[in-house]
Amino acid sequence: MNKLIKYVLYDIVRNKIIVAYTLFLLLLSIGLFHLGGSPDKGLLSLLNLVLLTVPLISIVFGTTHFYNSYEFMELLVSQPIKRSKIFLSEYLGVSLSLSAAFGIGVGVPVLLFAPGATGLFLLLTGIFVTFIFVALAFLASVITRDKAKGIGIALLLWFYFALIYDGLVLFVLYSFGDYPLEKATLVLTALNPVDLGRVLVLLNLDVSAMMGYTGALYKSIFGSGWGIAIAFAVMVLWVLLPLLSARRVFQKRDL
Amino acid sequence: MINRTTLYTLSLLLVLLGAAACSVEPKPVPYGEANCTHCQMTVSDNRYGAELVNDKGKPFFFDAAECLASYVIEQPEVSDKAAYLLVTDFTNPNTLIEVEKAHFLQSKELASPMGMFLTAVADEATATKMQQEYGGRLLNWEEIKEAVRNNEKPQ
Amino acid sequence: MLRGVSVELDKGKVISIIGPNGAGKTTMSKCILGMVLPDSGDIKFNGESVLRKHAYRSQIGYMPQIGRYPENMKIRQVIEMVRDIRKKSAVDDELIGLYRLEEMYDKRMGALSGGTKQKVSAALAFLFDPQVLILDEPTAGLDPFAAEILKGKILKEKKKGKLILITSHIMSEVEEVADEVMCLVDGNVMFYETISELKAQTQETRLSRAVAKIMREGYKP
Amino acid sequence: MRNLSNRIVVWPACAFVLLLTSLQAFGGTLKVCTTCAYTSVKQAVRQAKAGDVVLVDGGVYLESGIEITQPIRLIGQNNPVIDGNNSGQIITVSSDNVTVQGFTLQNVATSYTRDDAAIRVRQQNNIQILNNTILKTYYGIYLQYSDGIIIKDNVVKGENVGRTESSLGNAIHVYYTDDVQIIGNDVQGHRDGIYLETVKNSTVERNTSHQNSRYGLHFMFSDGNAYTHNTFRRNGAGVAVMYTTNVRMEYNVFEDNWGAASYGLLLKEINNSVIYNNTFRRNTTGIHMESSSRLDIKNNDFERNGWAIKLMTTCIDDTFRLNNFTGNSFDISTNGNAQHNYFEHNYWDKYTGYDLDKDGVGDVPYRPVSLYSMLIERVPPSVMLMRSFMVDLLDNMERVLPSIIPQNLVDEHPLMKKIDHDNNREFKQNLRQTASAPWRER
């Protein structure tokens, strides 16, 4: 399988969009660190940006790549190789190259301007989000054969996780204001990888003091080794759930 | 298949969410991390904290029994429905006792955070012993509310 | 959408699958290749079911109707990749030589014309000397010269005792290379005969006419 | 008027004190050192008569329970150390007209039943506590039921690392005492840096109160005091002031009071007071105001706070003018729609309006309240969405078409440029003349 990844990677890495994406992230990160003044402020603005653009690019690129590689995958299927291998190679190829773009575009500036645990959390979050949204992209792609429809579903998914979900949460929290919601918000956070990533990074920043009692509760949970382990386990779950469902569909459907 | 899996996951999460939200029970007072619901000061002295848990299980923290009493007086619509009204046992910091069962000592020698000199303990014997040591008067919760209403401080 | 096909194919023959558009020609070859998974029924290769298996495909060479490859891959890499997958070094690079692909080894797939891509597809199909070849509209998009080379190759491989399946619309071409014709209509085999038998039955000298006649009048074996 | 009269009373009192101390200098001198007639401070103090000076030379004296019953001056030379050895209070002042000066006092153990201090003054007048260093004590300086006290240039340093708050006392604790001057002290590592309860006509000036577990300054029921030029830094929760009227808070710096339940300044039922020329820098909440009325908040700088001001609806008739708001995550937050406060001529760095007539005043009003900050106020768990794209979107929509944020919490005349409080007299004069609503000047 790793042979296949090598070729998929080779193809994607030379993709103009990936190069543009890397440069975009690089310029933006450097710009934000210069504008922000303090490294913390730079990280904070970067966080906002990362959690908006990385999912969008990942899901759109993942979906279009899947549809563009359709005939190639057909060709591979005609070869003596398991379908799941083809699928996973494609998946890893896309997510690894997007992660690499992210690693260069954001990781290098972070290492230069704001090295430390917070930066590391931001990078990990970004990479996880990349893997998660590529998985979602592949899920969207195997659901329908129509490219336009697939991209539509992908965009809806992005819209949901980046925007609608938070709106729903706000609505729920507001409606049930009389209830003790601190722990419920923990669960609600876990239900959206974007929120989970954001909270993880925020807790490492000064801003966490502004999160008051709820933030203190979060901190007591995410501050421990166990809490972080659980948070990242949830992230892993967020990668595996869509990925494995997509693989299942892919294995059982006609090309 | 996906639909069924998603359904399972969703319902599991809903149950989790419900379980996390709906237990009506006293919560430990987060000293140093919460502000008093009544006076907004930091709840920080673990011998004096107080708590109100509403009928839905949401806790409100107070830095002192007098703040809880003031809140109860000012917000009858909340406190009438409260599931728990709790104060800290002075002799067992971090331990909460229900106000109806608490014995309060008002003594000039023991300053509580909000200046009413109110100290709560769980059992009567300790209360009497402390009264002998520090002077002052013993009160129950009803009398505390009355004292707070009239701002009666020890002389 | 294929429905009721039940045939046995022997080696050493070139079988042409014909039929109107949407009859299930491509679907049938895709079924054999495991791209389309049948809801019911079975496909056996050398006596063993191929469902949920993949190793048997090392015995099959496939040339798709339209080959599309990752844009940034070079021809060399595509060939290397398939070689890696098959874990076999190439045994039959005759077509690579005839099509002069080596001169273009470092060109990006995205920069190739459709015909060149077809040449790559054809070369790949024959590269590992498979027992079975499945060629989907092989000459479509190839220039006449390249098509001739391919036909020659097909005949050569037939002589080695291989089973070659060709889907095609072009009857003259079928006549040139095939021994037997399988006609699919609406997912069913309408007839499966040798070309000479078909000509004899319809008393036509040209295959296209023979087929047209059967289509018109129905098949009466 | 009130403040003016305070000064008139205080200054003659100081002069009187000076006179008195110089008179006392004519008394005898009792020397304490290892080779002197007195080797123990306690001994010397016991022998001293009114007006005497007890002069203690450098060295370490293991003593506690020193009780001053005569009007004497206890003066340390070459930095003598009196080590209480954790056996109770070190110095108790039980006489009027006493000076304690130039000592290092250390090691007073925590007691849950007695408020032991390094220096305790009980029901006395005219006491001066000057230039002492107080280390590792339960309470530092403890005044009760006294009058006319000067606490100046002392350092009080406790050890609060790893200790619970109930095992810490306050650095300077003043209870039921009037006319106190607390000047130039450095207090840290205690529960409250400076604690005043029921203290009147007093001044707290040029102190630095930092790294205390609870508050840098805490006062209740203490009318008519002035707090100027102090620095309150990195305390558990900044400064809490409550149930008081007629307070002057000027030229103080509140900074780095940063924590989950922290604020720079908590105002609870503070009325008729002024807050001028202070700097609030990097506090979780700059000012949290509740039930506070008729406050004049002017010429302050709010820099890089989480919330610059949390203004609860129980506050009425407060004015906010000529303040700078820069780099705060939220400028103003509130918990309801009813607003009876007045904002004018502040500088807000988030203001995006324009100034066509070039008078330095923006032509469109600025609404400093963000919808999301109000949501947090009502439903605290919604902080989990902090920095969410959704929330930013909501805030921007609300700012364009306000529907939930209070309509009348608005600065109709925001300034275009940051105010230089010291050098903008002329500009401010102009503003005063062109102010739209005539507003009471205090």
Query: Taking the domains of chain D in order of start, what are their residue ranges?
Result: 1-233, 237-369+406-442
Nearest to A14 among C58, C60, C72 (CB): C72
Alpha-carbon dihedral sign for residues A131, A133, A139, A142: negative
Asked if D259 has any chain B CB less than 8 Å from its own CB, the reply is: yes
End-to-end Cα, chain D, rounded Å? 11
Distance CA D365, CA D369 (A): 12
Nearest to A10 among C64, C69, C77 (CB): C77
How do residues D298-353 score in pLDDT, each as one tens digit? 999 999 898 999 999 899 999 999 999 998 989 999 988 878 899 999 999 988 88
Class of residue C111 by CB neighbours under 10 A (exposed 0-12, middle 13-18, buried 19+)? exposed
Nearest to B39 among D197, D236, D268 (CB): D268
Element (H, E) at A110: helix A108-113
Q: What percent of chain B has pLDDT over 70?
A: 86
Contact state of B1 with A248 under an 8 Å Cβ cutoff = yes
B146 contacts: CB under 8 Å, gap ≥ 6: none
Q: What is the mean pLDDT of chain A?
A: 89
- pLDDT band with cut points at 50, 70 and 90 for residue D217: very high
Written as six digits, the tokens of D130 are 């000057």
Contact state of B33 with D261 under an 8 Å Cβ cutoff = yes
Nearest to A211 among D383, D388, D391 (CB): D383
pLDDT at A133 > cutoff 90: yes
* Mean pLDDT of all residues in D281-292: 92
Question: Are the beta carbons of D95 and D71 closer than 8 angstroms?
Answer: yes
What is D1-233's CATH topology?
Pectate Lyase C-like (2.160.20)
Which stretches of chain B sit within 8 Å of chain A by CB?
1-2, 5, 9, 13, 16-17, 20-22, 27, 30, 33-35, 54, 56-59
Q: Please compute Rg for chain A using Cα positions.
A: 19
A56: nearest Cα among A157, A124, A128: A157
Question: Are the beta carbons of B41 and D237 closer than 8 angstroms?
Answer: yes
Residues of the domain holding A38: 2-252
Residue C169: predicted pLDDT: 80
pLDDT at D420 > cutoff 60: yes
Chain A nearest-CA distance from D389, in A, is 7
Distance CA B69, CA C203 (A): 111
A-contacting chains (≥3 CB pairs under 8 Å): B, C, D
Can you spell out the DSSP letters for D314-340? T-EEEEEES-EEES-SEEEE-SSS--E
Q: What percent of chain D has pLDDT over 70?
A: 89
Residues of the domain holding C202: 14-67+131-217
pLDDT at D19 > cutoff 50: no
| Three-state DSSP state, D233 | strand
Sheet holding B50-53, edge to edge: B59-62, B50-53, B84-88, B96-98
Q: What is the mean pLDDT of chain C?
A: 85
Amino acid at D48: A
Give me the helices (H) in chain C, please.
Answer: 25-33, 75-86, 94-98, 114-127, 144-159, 171-177, 195-202, 207-217
Asked if A199 has any chain D CB less than 8 Å from its own CB, the reply is: yes
In terms of average pLDDT, the best of D98-112, D371-385, D386-400 is: D98-112
- pLDDT band with cut points at 50, 70 and 90 for residue B46: confident
D31 contacts: CB under 8 Å, gap ≥ 6: D37, D38, D44, D55, D56, D57
Q: What percent of chain D has pLDDT over 90?
A: 58
Residue A102: predicted pLDDT: 95
- pLDDT band with cut points at 50, 70 and 90 for residue B91: confident
Q: What is the mean pLDDT of chain D?
A: 87
Question: Are the beta carbons of C105 and C136 closer than 8 angstroms?
Answer: no
Distance CA A131, CA C158 (A): 48
Domain assignment present for C120: no
Written as six digits, the tokens of A252 are 């059982």
Chains C and B touch (3+ CB pairs under 8 A): no
Chain B nearest-CA distance from A98, in A, is 26
pLDDT at D253 > cutoff 50: yes
D-contacting chains (≥3 CB pairs under 8 Å): A, B
Residue D264: predicted pLDDT: 93
Contact state of A75 with C62 under an 8 Å Cβ cutoff = yes
C144 contacts: CB under 8 Å, gap ≥ 6: none
Written as six digits, the tokens of A128 are 């996880």
Contact state of A210 with D393 under an 8 Å Cβ cutoff = no
pLDDT at C159 > cutoff 70: yes
* Mean pLDDT of all residues in B101-122: 85
Distance CA A128, CA A209 (A): 25
Chain A nearest-CA distance from C57, in A, is 5
What residues form DSSP beta bridges with C60? C132
Chain A nearest-CA distance from B66, in A, is 22
- pLDDT band with cut points at 50, 70 and 90 for residue B5: low
Distance CA C62, CA C60 (A): 6
- pLDDT band with cut points at 50, 70 and 90 for residue C217: confident
Vertex D41: Cα angle to D35 and D47 (nearest 5): 100
- pLDDT band with cut points at 50, 70 and 90 for residue D436: very low
Residue C168: predicted pLDDT: 84
Contact state of A217 with B1 under an 8 Å Cβ cutoff = no
C-contacting chains (≥3 CB pairs under 8 Å): A
How many domains does the structure of chain A reveal?
1
Residue C212: predicted pLDDT: 85
ipTM above 0.90 for this complex: no
Q: Cα torsion at C209, C215, C216, C218 (round to 10°)? A: 120
Give residue C144's Cα distance to chain centre: 18
Residue D5: predicted pLDDT: 47
- pLDDT band with cut points at 50, 70 and 90 for residue B16: low
C101: nearest Cα among C83, C89, C119: C119
Residue B21: predicted pLDDT: 52
Residues of A whose CB is below 8 A from D261 = 212-213, 216
Residue D24: predicted pLDDT: 46
pLDDT at C198 > cutoff 60: yes
* Mean pLDDT of all residues in A173-195: 86
Q: Please compute Rg for chain D using Cα positions.
A: 25
β-pairing, C60-63 with C132-136?
A: parallel
Residues of B whose CB is below 8 A from A248 = 1-2
Asked if D92 has any chain A CB less than 8 Å from its own CB, the reply is: no
* Mean pLDDT of all residues in D225-242: 92
Distance CA B86, CA B116 (A): 17
CA nearest to A16 within chain C: C72
| Three-state DSSP state, D115 | coil
* Mean pLDDT of all residues in C79-99: 83
Contact state of B30 with A176 under an 8 Å Cβ cutoff = no
Chains A and D touch (3+ CB pairs under 8 A): yes
pLDDT at C187 > cutoff 90: no
Residue D152: predicted pLDDT: 96
Residue D441: predicted pLDDT: 43
| Three-state DSSP state, A175 | helix
Contact state of A180 with B33 under an 8 Å Cβ cutoff = no
> CATH number, domain at C160?
3.40.50.300
B97 contacts: CB under 8 Å, gap ≥ 6: B86, B87, B88, B89, B120, B122
Give residue D228's Cα distance to chain centre: 8
Q: What percent of chain A has pLDDT over 90?
A: 50
**How many cross-chain Cβ pairs, A to D, lie less than 8 Å apart?**
92
Backbone angles phi, psi at A146, to 5 degrees: -80, 120
pLDDT at B14 > cutoff 80: no
D41: nearest Cα among D73, D11, D10: D73
Distance CA A82, CA A86 (A): 7
pLDDT at A40 > cutoff 60: yes
β-pairing, D285-290 with C132-136?
A: unpaired
pLDDT at D440 > cutoff 50: no
